[in-house]
Structure 1
């Protein structure tokens, strides 16, 4: 058993990853990472979650749920920024933990993130489809149920809009990162303008009485969930946190960053700051325009609030821009997910086909199209609400690993790992707070999310023990690995 454990905890040499990823073109700048981060974080959720959390848990204090979730995400983002600056490898937490803690721990963190990206691609595509069909309905156009819903849901066979969206983004990414980034940058600007337009128009319809009491009295709802008080705010944190996990998509592309010691920290932390400001602004305006109870079971609170405040044209335009802007989240998730799959294939933990780059543009297109197929299948089989429950759990597990990894990283910086220009402040206190914050959010998740993440973990352990550990690149002499 000790020998088997030693085999499972073998650590990858960081120089091997540097060599393996050297063929990925370093073309991404701070501007690109800010667009990627904001585009991924400020996605479907900003147009839905503030209203849902206000009605279900926090009332007007939904803004505090947004802020507290951002504080936890920010603590983890500091850890991510140092990791990405010191080890700018494809695969983010999977590759870092492989170097810091060893293979089995890297596998656990990477497998947890893989669930996020598989599900997130389907989740974002389903949300885009639902909003697009809602926009069509406002013009009197309705898709048949067979082409509008996943298999077995409300007479559905396939959500054709979601499928087309995923395939279009995959085709765009397969042509090159620079092309995708140009599209991403334009769409992010349009989406931010739409959000600012909503805030500006909404401010003219604020009723101060809707903010009182700002923190409603705590009570347990009929369904057993917490509403009001700090308990309700905490329940809202676990829901809102779903929106902020997108900064991992920046780190996953660090092997393609120009001057990663500067671009990675600025991209990760900068995008999170922009995102939390936008989320809090939308939340405060929504609950100021109408009493939070109006947003109960409301799938489109932003559009609803504008229409009922007497701005139907603005509602249609902003919803239209929002639908187009949702492509930014799909681009970010598919870029990051394909780089993670590539990393698994690169290391032999999954079939090496996934770790091969295209011959002309040196892009991980095998991994990209595999992610596309899996995302389409998941989106075809599972409804939107089911997918929403599952995204945060896996990511939070990876976040906890990264926070604790800072302690091991500091011992090796300036030795076999580069000593980065950016370091997590207030060491050694902040890494511990980041770990405890992520753990606290995880404990606040729905029980189903925890159960399904446990099932996914067991499946991953079986895959690792039956395939990954036997085909790992660490089984080969280092000289052979470096030649691959």
Structure 2
């Protein structure tokens, strides 16, 4: 392939009417309530039950509350960009499909490849957190798995494979292959239960809060590390950011939404507001109950804090709902990831078999592939490593989204009479810039691995995608 021909393919933009035709077989069965439930099911999953403790111990101390607020403000800008893009282009594949239409094939592929890593790592992370909570719950009744199957590979601890995490993803994969309508109904009830127990945790946990645990609210920065001070707060916001992949999960299902021009913006903004309030409440109470150092390496900090403070019944109730809540997050992540892989196959950037739909209009092949890879990642890789890597793809997607809005307004061939991001072009630019600054604040290991993943994506495109798209 000549360099000129490759460049022409890289900048070739997809016709939006072509995506509308290709996605026409997907059934529009989801309404606003189902989409908000799906978004909260993803965002308020491991993010609320696990990340406040990890981020407090490793980065921000009690100021993890500020980390959540900063992440929410930046995510809010991106949420507005996502709302406009989803309203104008309700296609499966979210940022991948939008970038393909706005910027061309290669930028679309790189954005999609970045968010694919996010889905896979988030699935693995949430399944690991789910397993930790489940084992903690069973331990209160005296049951314990053999050491080898308790967690992912760790030679020093004698663990090798996270059995319960793998089983959770497998069950979710089976459910996702049976259709969205029934899953959406289940998700509605799971989210209601999850929010109720989070509120119970905040109320009960408040009785065990000691103000001294919040002091100093912003720990002193430890030179040469990412802990403490403004550095720790920003680093904490970066780690937390993966939770907001829920926006992409909602958008990935745009082609299966009723009245997307109104439903998508309402679902995305509604998810942001509800999720942020819950995050801040849990983080504040958790760091007030015990010194933040106690949560280091703890994948079930909320339930642990309740048990240690004598609220065993509430701790077990929270563990049960945390299990159910994180399970609903796994469902939403797996569905969003499978629709992204379906989109790759639809466009020939990956084998077209991935875009095959069954008689019910469901991409079962794509669902199976995502399930298998997530089982391997979640079963083998440790949770602290996954938490360290998980935000990069979301940040890259949010950068592309902000820039895409700038270009969208100039496209006469796209009907964007629905929702529009306010204060154009200032807010779209701020959305992209803020996400870029957070991306730059990732630790060195995460940056190197992110660059490595993108290089692999370029190689896949060069030797496969560019020849088959």
> TM exceeds 0.5?
yes
What is the CA distance between 1:150 and its match in structure 2? 3.2
Map 1:66-145 → 2, pairs under 5 A: 66-145=68-147
Aligned-residue Cα RMSD (Å) equals: 1.6
Which of 190, 195, 202 is the aligned partner of 2:193? 190
Q: 3-state SS of the aligned residue for 1:411? A: coil
What is residue 441 of structure 2 aligned with on the other side?
A: 444
Which of 388, 396, 421 is the aligned partner of 1:424? 421
What is residue 4 of structure 1 aligned with on the other side?
A: 6
What is residue 37 of structure 1 aligned with on the other side?
A: 39
What is residue 402 of structure 1 aligned with on the other side?
A: 401
What is the CA distance between 1:311 and its match in structure 2? 1.1
What is residue 320 of structure 2 aligned with on the other side?
A: 320
What is the CA distance between 1:157 and its match in structure 2? 4.6
What is residue 177 of structure 2 aligned with on the other side?
A: 174
Which of 451, 456, 461 is the aligned partner of 1:454? 451
Q: Is the 8 A contact 1:350 1:467 kept in 2?
A: yes
**Quick one: structure 1 residues 298 and 125, their matched pair in 2 at CA, closer, same or farther if it must change by over 3 Å?**
closer
Map 1:114-263 → 2, pairs under 5 A: 114-151=116-153, 153=155, 154-220=157-223, 224-263=224-263
User: TM (normalized to structure 1)?
Assistant: 0.93
1: CA distance, partners of 2:211 / 2:231: 24
What is the CA distance between 1:458 and its match in structure 2? 1.1
Q: 3-state SS of the aligned residue for 2:167? A: helix
2: CA distance, partners of 1:409 / 1:168: 39
Provide, for residues 372-431 of structure 1, a one-character-per-residue CA deviation record: whole Å limited to 9, x for no partner: 11111222332222222222112211211111111110101xx21112321111110001
2: CA distance, partners of 1:123 / 1:300: 13
Q: Is the 8 A contact 2:128 2:379 kept in 1?
A: no
Q: Is the 8 A contact 1:149 1:155 kept in 2?
A: no
1:48 and 2:45 correspond: no
Q: Is the 8 A contact 2:254 2:264 kept in 1?
A: yes
What is residue 481 of structure 1 aligned with on the other side?
A: none
Q: Is the 8 A contact 1:173 1:179 kept in 2?
A: no
Q: 3-state SS of the aligned residue for 1:184? A: helix
2: CA distance, partners of 1:301 / 1:178: 33
User: TM (normalized to structure 2)?
Assistant: 0.96
Q: 3-state SS of the aligned residue for 2:410? A: helix
**Quick one: structure 1 residues 131 and 216, their matched pair in 2 at CA, closer, same or farther if it must change by over 3 Å?**
same
What is the CA distance between 1:322 and its match in structure 2? 0.6
Provide, for residues 307-326 of structure 1, a one-character-per-residue CA deviation record: whole Å limited to 9, x for no partner: 23221211111112111211
Q: Is the 8 A contact 1:59 1:214 kept in 2?
A: yes
Q: Is the 8 A contact 1:36 1:332 kept in 2?
A: yes
Q: Is the 8 A contact 2:129 2:299 kept in 1?
A: no
What is residue 275 of structure 1 aligned with on the other side?
A: 275
Q: Is the 8 A contact 1:265 1:422 kept in 2?
A: yes
Moved more, 339-348 or 195-204: 195-204
**Quick one: structure 1 residues 298 and 362, their matched pair in 2 at CA, closer, same or farther if it must change by over 3 Å?**
closer
Provide structure 1 residue ranges, at least 5 long, that are not aligned to the other structure: 473-484
What is the CA distance between 1:228 and its match in structure 2? 3.1
**Quick one: structure 1 residues 62 and 316, their matched pair in 2 at CA, closer, same or farther if it must change by over 3 Å?**
same
What is residue 15 of structure 1 aligned with on the other side?
A: 17
What is residue 482 of structure 1 aligned with on the other side?
A: none
Map 1:367-378 → 2, pairs under 5 A: 367-378=366-377
Q: Is the 8 A contact 2:45 2:325 kept in 1?
A: yes
Provide structure 2 residue ranges, at least 5 long, that are not aligned to the other structure: none
Q: 3-state SS of the aligned residue for 2:304? A: helix
Moved more, 255-264 or 391-400: 391-400
What is the CA distance between 1:180 and its match in structure 2? 0.9
